[in-house]
Amino acid sequence: MERKRKEMMENANWRSENRKETIEKTHEILKKEIEESQSHVQTGPSFIRPMIQSAMDNQTLEDSINHRRKRAAGSSRDMQKSFARR
């Protein structure tokens, strides 16, 4: 009887250690995934930046101002919409 109890205790200890190791590995994997996803969010896709930069280089100051003015003003359709629904 005592021998079986000791075996059960040893098995319980082994399972506990195994569980701790598994949890630690899982936490490390999740931490790496979170860090990778945050780095992608902060930097964004690498192919977009050069495209935006080349578009900005080709655009004059006057074009930029006109674009911002038109974007802020909207269109005649925007003026017909109900402001309460926004």
Domain boundaries, the chain: 1-44, 45-81
C-alpha of 66 from chain center: 33
Span 25-72, pLDDT tens digits: 999 999 998 888 777 666 666 777 778 777 777 777 788 788 778 777
| pTM more than 0.75 | no
Look at residue 16 and tell me whether its pLDDT is greater than 80.
yes
Q: Is the pLDDT of residue 77 over 60?
A: yes
Question: Around Cβ 81, how many Cβ atoms within 10 Å?
Answer: 10
